[in-house]
Every structure is written in C-alpha cells, then in structure tokens.
Chains A and B, each alone.
Chain A
Amino acid sequence: MPIGPAVTRRTALKALAAGAGAVTLLPWLSEEGLAAFAEIQRTQAAPRLLVLTSAQYQTVEALVEAIIPADDRSPGASEARVADYIDLLLGEAPVFLRRRWLSGLAALDAESTSRFGSPFLQLPAAQVEALLTDISRNELLEEEPAPADPALALPRGEEPRLQPPQLDTLLGEVRHPDPRRTPLQAFFADTKQATIHGYYTSEIGIHKELRYKGNTLLAEFVGCETVEGRDCPHCGQKAEG
C-alpha cells in the first residue's frame, strides 16, 4: 500500500464540505491551514491569528509567560507559542466558551486597571504576582460530592435526576461549572489548564523542560538498575540481598 503525503487539497475540501452543518459556525482551519500553523510555531514566525487581536495576543503572551516563565532550565510558555495555541483553541471552541473566555480576558485588564491603574501587559512583575495570586485562589477546588455513585446505586428502573455536566473549558473538558469561582478566577483556571497543555506538549516543554527521554527505539527497556542486581544510581535503592 502506498505511503504518500497524508494530506491533499482535495481531502481538505472534502472534510470541510462533509462537516458543513457542524463547522460553518467555527472558523477552524483547513488541513493546509493547520500545517502552516505548525510551521509558524516551529520557525518562530509572526503569529497568524484566528480570533485574538494583536493587542489581545500580547496580553495572552504576557499571561501565559507569567504562568510558565522562562528560567535557567528552559524557555517559557511565550517562546513555546502557547498564546498561538490558545488562539487556535478559541477558534475551534463553541461560541459560548469563546465569548466567556474573551470576556474573562477583558475582566483581567479591567481588574488590573482598577487596582494598579494600568492594563495587565504594562504591570511590573510584583503587581503581576499580586494580581495572579488573587485570581488563582480558587483554581483547584475539591470536586463536589460525586453524583455518579448514587445514580448507579438507584433501584432498578429509576433514572438519576441530577444536573448533567457541561462542556466547561477551552480544552473541551466536561464537568459541572463550579459556582464557587468568580468569573475572573474561572478565567484564570481555564487559561492555566490550557497553558499547561500547550506548554508540555510543545517541543520546548517535552524536550528542554521535562527532558523526556522516551519515544525512541530501544533494544530493551532498562528500568531500575536494582532489577539487574546493582544499586541504582537514579533512585538510590540497594540491590536485593
């Protein structure tokens, strides 16, 4: 069977046509568009934005870099082009999620301006720290008591009468929206999760920051050296007597 280039113009058009009912609302990219997008990320060319204005893009870059900054070990989320990734997520997200996220971005600037007199992009590091400390306060909440267990334990024939979960984040997670967060806190939590995903799936995140060593051809998996009867230099465990 032939192993040719996987994508042709024809399939791209066909894919768009086939999904017309669902996709016309979304400005999602053709296959060539995505390939171009990947190339931009790889070569550090100027962004090709789907949703964000260039001013918004700059604010997002500053925000994601504040979440995962460059340090001695590796570049941060800005160089890993996480802002471009978030722009793509926005472009492919349902309209209500995109609107909610964009109003969160506006609220970030509004909060920044009311507290410090200037938009987020212009804040010095100490004020960024103070602002993010506040809005990250409720980012990780204990899950509400699990509804699935009682539902499954219901007597036969009875159906659960609980609120169904909803698509709730840019990454497409399905869960119950948490009323304990302010809109700005929800915006931070969502952006941080997307930043984590964008950064740790990038070349910078995987290879430079995490120094992940896998996905290579191995003659044999090595494992802990105690398995070979030696003391292990990686974990310090002693070989078994």
Chain B
Amino acid sequence: MPADKTLDLDLDAIVAESRRAAAAIHPGSGPWDVIVVGSGAAGGMAAFQLATAGIKVLVLDAGRLINHRKEYRTMEWPYASPRRSRLPPDHRAIAAAEYNFFDRPYGNHPELAKYKKVASYAGNAFTRNWVVNEKQHPTTGTPYAWVRARVLGGKTNFWGRVALRYGPLEFKAASRDGFDVDWPIGYEDVAPYYDKVDLLLGVSGTKEGLAQIPDGIYQRPIKLNCVEVHFKRTVARMGRRYMPGRCGVTTEGVLNNKYRARCLGRGRCGRGCDINAAFHSPNALILPARDTGNLTLRPYSVVSEVILDPATGRAAGVRVIDANTRRVMDFKARVVVLGAGTLDSTRILLNSRSSRHPSGLGNSSGLLGSYLSEHHMGPRASGFIPMRMGTEPTLDDGRPTGPYLARFRNITDKHPDFIRGYHFQGGGGAQEYPGFAHDIPGFGRAFKSSVRRHYPALISIGGFGEVLPRKENRVSLDATVKDAWGIPVLRFDYRFSDNEIKMARDMADTAEEMLKAAGAQDIKVEREMLPPGWSIHEIGTARMGDDPKTSVTTRFCRLHDVPNVYLADAAPFVSGGTQNTTWSILAMCWRTMDYLKEQMRAGDV
C-alpha cells in the first residue's frame, strides 16, 4: 500500500541528525570569529559572505535542520491525501478574522487552546512542520499576525519569491513629502549590492525603466498569460505598468551553486522548491558556506541575549538555551551578527539588559523597538475576462510568480488623501484549484458548466501599501509573559493610522476601476484590511541613522552603542515603500558584511 505522503512526515531521522549536530557543538568547540544568529535570508547571507571570505563562523538557529528532499513536497497532488491538503484535526491555523478579535496570547484562547499545534495563518499542510506553535511562542499587546519559522532557512523555505529593489523614492521618501526622515544612505549605496545578489542567486524579470521600481540584472522573465496580456494592455491606456513578476527564482540556472537547478515551471514554490530553483537559504547559502570549511552550524540553539564583556563594553558573545536539553551555554566570538528576523533580533537586544544597558543593548536612544513598519494588505478585486470565458484551459500557472503592477500614486502627482503609495500583485488564468467556484450560485449541470466556463478567465489582483514608520508603533518586552524557554515575549503596540486606512480605500477603488476598464465580469471587490503583520514584511525596529540620539544603528547596521554587534535583517530599515522585503535584506546584509570584513581586516573589531 502506498504511504500517504501528505501525513505527518517521518522527521525522526532529521530530528536525530539535528540533535546530534547540536550535541556535538559546545562553547569549547570554537574558536569562531563571528557568531551569526539565524539562518534565513539575513543569517544565511551573513554566513555565506563571512565563510567564503575565510572567516570562521558559528551559525546558531533556533530550529532543526531541514531535509529538503522529503519536506519540499513540490509536485504533490491534493488527491494524494483524502484530507486534500487540509491540516490534520489536531492542528489549527489562526484565521484572518480571529487575529483582531481573539485576546493575546492567541494560543491561550479557549477556541484555539484545545489544539495540539496553533500556527499563524501561514501554517498549512506544507509548512506546518516549519512555522512555530503559538502556544510556545506567545505575543501580547495589540493584534499582530507574526509569522515565524524555526527551522534551517526560516521563512525562506516558503517565501513568496517576489524580488524587488527599493529605489530613490524609498531611500529619500521624507525629502519628497516631509514625513519622518530619509534613510542615511541612498539607492546608489545599495544598487551595487542588489546587482551582486541578482547575479549570485538569480532573479527573473524584465527591465522597465521605472523610477518607482529600479531594474535589476534579470534572467529569462516569466511570460504573461492571455488574461494578463489583456489586462496589461488595458492598464497601459491608463498610464499604469503591469509587468512580469520579478522573482527570486533562477530560470536560467546559476553556475556558482551545485545545489540548485533552474526552474522547471511546476508553480508550487510556496511549498519549497525541491530542485531549489527558488531561493531557499539552506541550499542557496548555507550549504555553499558549509563547503568552505569555515562554517559551524548549531541547530536547536535558542539565543536569549547578547552577553557583554564588562571590561571592554563590547559584546563577548551570546547566551544560548538548547531547545531540547534546556542547557544554557555562552558562546563567544569577536563579533555578533543578529539575523533572527526583524522582531526576534529586536527582542534579543531588548532582553540583553545589564547595568550599563538597563533597557536593552543598543537602546541608549530609547528607540529600540519603535518605528515598526510593514505593508498593509487586504483590498483586492477579481473578475473574469470575457475573451477566455468558455475556452479550453491553457497551462497558465506553471511559473513561480504572477505579474506585478507598479505603484502609480504620489510619483509625479500628489494624492489628496494620503502620502506614499501601493502596488498590486496578481494575475489570472486557470489555476489548479478553482477557488472562485465557492462564489458561483446554484447546483447541477448549470453550476458545473459555469465553473468550467469561468475557469480560464479569472483575473485577481491584491494590493501592498506602505505603512508609515511611526515612533508609537512599537514592540517592547512583556513584563510577565514568557515563551517556552523562559524568554520574555514581545508586546505589540501597533495600529494602522489614517494614512493607511485612506490608502486602503483607494487601493480597493483602483482595483475595481482597472477590472472594470478591462471589461471583467462578476467583479468582486474586497475592501477590508487584513490584520497587522499579514505581509510578513516587518522592518524598522532598530532603525539606522547618523545621530545616535535618533537611531539605533549606524548606516552600516552596527549598533551605535556597541561596536561589535551588527544587524543583518530588516530591523535597521528606515522605511519600506511598497516593495516585498527579502531582496533588500539580502542586498543590505551583503553590504553590511563587506563593511564588517573591512573592519575585521583593519583590526577594528
């Protein structure tokens, strides 16, 4: 009898391997030059840059190793399991509608507490062994859909692959509209690093020459399908640009990495790409870094704080709680690089309290945790393009991403209701599962033929809008609630402001306007905003700047207060435009590591 591959995978072997790897490495196993916390986009890139430069690196990840051959179930059909890709009954993902209504911590709510595992909304049949259990990882304060993955590679195992650059409009946003401050650096500082990331990891797209979304160095683009070509022609007449999605997936292959193959158009990258054409940190960065012989990887290593050398005022290393044995160990190195994700890196710093740094390490400005920003989402529209109604379906979804509609607000004009802007993502055509069928009324032959008539004609777009970086949107350590390892959890104080709410209204209006212009039928418009955090694009809680009184890190992502602690993730970002964040994390991290390498060479750290 064939084993059902959709069930709880037998992870015994990989868990045992992870435990062995953790047990083999202890504070005496060094020495290491640099400790890197985390192994996702930030930690992975930091480890890769340092290890390939001959620097001895210890990577600490809070989760286990990953067996990508077994866990990336890229081509699995839904009928492989009678459960049809639903979660098993003892698992539950928090629904969108619940985030704003259930008290925090979510895992304690009576409706959720009865499940063995409570995952964030991103938990599904394919990701459920990677995303954290909210019961072990509570949050308090205002609603926030905080998606975390504790496994090698973190969220890069299932990221959305949209690979975009910030441009001059982001780095100098304040100069344009007077809100808040500019980044201390400009696009010209980061552009060479975006180029390097494009070449190292591979990115697919088209050069468009738009100021709001600078071009990269692209591999073969993903073509538009029929309804998308129609939509592109429609919005072009409105002065808007709809283009092939830019995605961090190699369509032509990369010669620098033997662990990755080029894209074969299965279109199921969000489950993990089993040939690693999509960028996932384990195969794209960690394994090549390991092959240098300079990388030590310790899984199951929960970092609670950065420890300080009282004699020098510098960081001496980090304190680790072994996730299984609970043994507490202090690992030492010359430099500490935090790449645990914007919010978890911030939490580690906030928890690194000493007499010299009573409110957390690097927090002399009092701003550590403030300026939390991300993208607001929710408004979207869908409809059906008549020219494809009733036609034979074509292969429309065998690709890693859908198209992208560039931001068009507040670029040359000035919107009366809000500053900054938003973009849309989304496309159409025949997708494996006809989700729209749930909205078609009736039954019988008429219903069935209506579903297949609509099937090739669907188009659907959804917006991503800038959340203004505001000081009062912040995280702090909760005074009483702790996680499963006894570490204080984050308390959120984060709400959308009038600017986001007005922008979201415009988003829904323009989505509807464009679908109408395209002659779409049965247009459905969603106007409601999704809960805070939904974008998984959190940035800003240790913002960079040249003045230590108004910023946490330098323009090279080093703490102002401690000269040997660096941030590799998006915590130092000042503002985030509308662009999906991962590609900027990779580029900024590379830039920071180049700076760090130079400091180490010069003997400054």
Contacts and interface: CB of A to CB of B under 8 A. Distances in A.
A165 B97 contact: yes
Interface string A126-142: 00010010001001100
A153 B101 contact: no
A148 B265 contact: no
Interface residues of A, number: 96
A9 B495 CA distance: 48
A34 B444 contact: no
Nearest to B397: A214
Contact of A22 (B82, B115, B444, B493): B115
B432 interface: yes
A4 B3 CA distance: 10
A121 B501 CA distance: 52
A50 to B, nearest CB: 11
Interface in B142-156: none
A174 B94 CA distance: 9
B391 interface: yes
A206 interface: yes
Contacts of A237: 226, 229-230, 233, 387
A129 B445 CA distance: 11
A1 B223 contact: no
B114 A235 contact: no
Contacts of B549: none
Given A19-B116, A222-B223, A41 B89 contact: no
B517 interface: no
Nearest to B102: A164
Nearest to A34: B4
A217 B265 contact: yes
B9 interface: yes
A175 B67 CA distance: 36
Contact of B229 (A71, A173, A203, A227): A227
B25 interface: no
Given A211-B393, A214-B396, A3 B437 contact: no
B398 A197 contact: no
B399 A92 contact: no
Interface stretch (A61-69, A109-117, A178-186): A61-69
A27 to B, nearest CB: 10
A20 to B, nearest CB: 9
A15 B11 CA distance: 12
A184 to B, nearest CB: 14
Contacts of B1: 32, 35-36, 39
A31 B472 CA distance: 49
A68 B17 CA distance: 48
A7 B10 contact: yes
Contacts of B496: 152-153
Nearest to B442: A136
A34 B79 contact: no
Contacts of B13: 1-2
B102 A73 contact: no
A85 B13 CA distance: 32
A22 B116 contact: yes
Given A1-B67, A237-B230, A19 B90 contact: yes
A6 interface: yes
Contacts of B395: 213-214, 216, 218, 221-222
A221 B228 CA distance: 14
B264 interface: yes
Interface string A26-47: 1010011011111101000000
A212 interface: yes
A202 B285 CA distance: 38
A164 to B, nearest CB: 4
A215 B432 contact: yes
A225 to B, nearest CB: 8
Contacts of B67: 1
A219 B77 CA distance: 20
Nearest to A136: B443
Nearest to A210: B455
A70 to B, nearest CB: 9
Contacts of A217: 264-266
A102 interface: no
Given A220-B220, A237-B226, A35 B88 contact: no
A200 B397 CA distance: 16
Contacts of B451: 200, 210
B501 A149 contact: yes
Please indicate which of the listed interface residues A32, A69, A92, A223 has the most CB atoms of chain B within 10 Å of its own CB: A223
Nearest to B14: A1
B3 A71 contact: no
15 contacts: A15-B8, A22-B90, A26-B89, A71-B448, A149-B529, A154-B495, A198-B84, A201-B79, A209-B448, A212-B430, A214-B395, A216-B398, A217-B265, A224-B223, A224-B228
